[in-house]
Amino acid sequence: MSGNLSNRRTSSSSLVSKKWIAFFHGLGLACGLILSSWLIVNYFRDSERVSNHSPDVSVTDRPDALHVRGPWGNLMVETIYTEKPAHFIDVAPLQRSEEKWFFPNMNQAGVRQWMSENGFSKEATEELMTAAPAEDAQGVYLNPSQAWIARLEPLLRKKIHGLLAKNPFNHFSENPYLFSVDVLQQIRSHPVMEGKNRELFEKLLYPKGTAMCLSDIGCLMFNVKDPNQSSELLKLLTRTKTVLLKLEIDRKSDIPALVNYWSGPFNLKDFQPLLESLKRQDRTSRLDIIHLLPPVARQLAYTYPLEDGVGEKRDCHWTTINFFEESKNDRYLDSNEIAKELQENYTSADKPEKFGDIVMFTPNGNEVIHSCVYIAADMVFTKNGRGAHQPWTITPLKDVVSVYGNMRILVKRRKS
């Protein structure tokens, strides 16, 4: 980092211990990476601090928007929906006649046994096992037909993609399309989803929390023959719910208090003149809080990653640790660097309530499957999945909980 943030990191002469080097390993549908048990057991156990998911706020529901007042000031919350830009849509890689699935650390006999134990019929098992199997030292590759994929029941689909998600080769198993309830309703009612498209789409869905997932995107796109319809459909599937936050400022606004909250741990006040100028107006002004976010978050918010081999690797944890950076730092694609940053510059907190707090979801205290950054009013900056089809959004924390489940939440706060 540079400029007035150059002293944000403290120097350390000691090497990172082995427990930190094991920070991440491959697992998890959404981010594709999880924090290792060493991180949770050794770094958080002493405090065992758990969030209640909600700050103490005053909420008034008005016809035009939701207004939330707290230490961040008075925020107007507007729900919007974003989609990937049309010029980023590339259908061709998904329109292939067959899929290739990789079953890690298994041979053909192991796959057969797993399928038998998880409710697959003998006929379905044999059809998959004869689909051009190929083994290597890491596992076995199988090539299910599109017809076989389409016949899977939702529970079996969920089980097999849960297994496949353990290896990044199976990209859309590890990083499925995620649909909240309201987004799913919009997709179902869209004209491009009429007829056979809608019928196949429904067959390919499987549940995750209160959300629905789509991993078999290739099966869906292979069966859509109209090129224009294919692009429109793929764009529709990237639709994501997010919110706009606007800070309301009038002559009664406490500018020092607003500056204190939105400066975060670094006491940055470069936006204070803007807030003061808005206070001098004879009306209530609304400032999009994107102007108050640090540079990286401001650049990423409401955008989709480029499919350039790097953008798709920038997952939730990369996003979280980059939040206060002045420019995107791909050093944090290295899990060792993330571990070092957390160890040296963060401390535990009771609950997410300050701008920039890191919120981590752990199902069992031994792993973290998702992380995001607290903004204000129970809203977080998040990327719910690794891959180019998942944007960076500002989202109610309760919506993130609905996807990842009501897990224990661990909170880390940046040292001042």
Question: pLDDT of 172-210, one tens digit each?
Answer: 999 999 999 999 999 999 999 988 999 999 999 999 888
Residues 96 and 229 in one domain: yes
Looking at the domain assignment, is residue 68 inside a domain?
A: no
Looking at the domain assignment, is residue 345 inside a domain?
A: yes
Q: 358-362 and 370-376: which strand pairing? A: antiparallel
Which candidate, 73, 66, 70, places its Cα nearest to that of 58?
Answer: 70
Looking at the domain assignment, is residue 244 inside a domain?
A: no
Out of 188, 219, 237, a domain closes at 237
pLDDT-above-90 percentage for the chain? 61
Residues 312 and 376 in one domain: yes
Looking at the domain assignment, is residue 273 inside a domain?
A: no
Say if residue 274's pLDDT is above 50. yes
Residues 364 and 222 in one domain: no
Looking at the domain assignment, is residue 264 inside a domain?
A: no
Rounded-to-integer distance, Cα 291 and Cα 48, Å: 35
Residues 130 and 228 in one domain: yes
Average pLDDT for the chain: 83
How do residues 315-359 score in pLDDT, each as one tens digit?
Answer: 999 999 999 998 999 999 888 898 889 889 999 999 999 999 999
Residues 101 and 44 in one domain: no
Residues 195 and 120 in one domain: yes
How do residues 202-224 score in pLDDT, each as one tens digit?
Answer: 999 999 888 899 999 999 998 88
Residues 344 and 229 in one domain: no
Most confident of 88-102, 110-124, 265-279: 110-124
Q: Is 125 buried (19+), middle (13-18) or exposed (0-12) by CB count in 10 A?
A: middle
How many domains would you assign to the chain?
2
Residues 205 and 134 in one domain: yes
Residues 187 and 227 in one domain: yes
Looking at the domain assignment, is residue 360 inside a domain?
A: yes
Residues 315 and 227 in one domain: no
Looking at the domain assignment, is residue 113 inside a domain?
A: yes
pLDDT of residue 97: 67
Looking at the domain assignment, is residue 374 inside a domain?
A: yes
How do residues 277-322 score in pLDDT, each as one tens digit?
Answer: 999 999 999 999 999 999 999 999 999 988 776 777 889 999 999 9
Out of 237, 258, 278, a domain closes at 237
pLDDT of residue 60: 40
pLDDT of residue 78: 94
Look up the domain containing 36 and give its range.
3-61+306-414
Residues 92 and 233 in one domain: yes
Out of 214, 237, 260, a domain closes at 237
Lowest mean pLDDT among 247-256, 280-289, 357-366, 376-385: 357-366
Residues 104 and 175 in one domain: yes
pLDDT of residue 228: 80
How do residues 37-86 score in pLDDT, each as one tens digit?
Answer: 334 333 333 333 333 333 334 344 444 578 999 999 999 999 999 999 88
